[in-house]
Amino acid sequence: MEFNTNFILGCSAIGAGLAVIAGIGPGVGQGIAAGHAAAAVGRNPGAKSDITSTMLLGQAVAETTGLYGLLVAILLLFVKPLVP
């Protein structure tokens, strides 16, 4: 039983590490959004505040998928649903 619990904890840690790989997607997406926003400000500096708020809204929505991965990792590490 002892072995089993430790084995499950170790596997949970590996699973948590794999789950936060989900962070790659939002990273790329937010970078693209920020790059295009910078280009837009360069083209039309007068609309800077509008562009910034639109960019932040889009980035925050894109961040959600990464946060799901983080949530899975936190659940695996701290709530330990798989340990009997």
Q: Which residues bind another protein (CB under 8 A)?
A: 53, 56-57, 60-61, 63-64, 67-68, 70-71, 74, 78
- d(CA 6, CA 32) in angstroms, rounded, equals 42
Q: How far is the CB of 1 from another protein (least distance, A)?
A: 17
Residue 74: CB atoms within 10 A of its CB come to 13
In the complex, minimum distance from the CB of residue 63 to another protein, in angstroms, rounded to a whole number: 7
Q: Are 3 and 36 in contact, with CB atoms under 8 Å apart? A: no
Q: Which one, 14 or 42, has the nearer CB to another protein?
A: 14
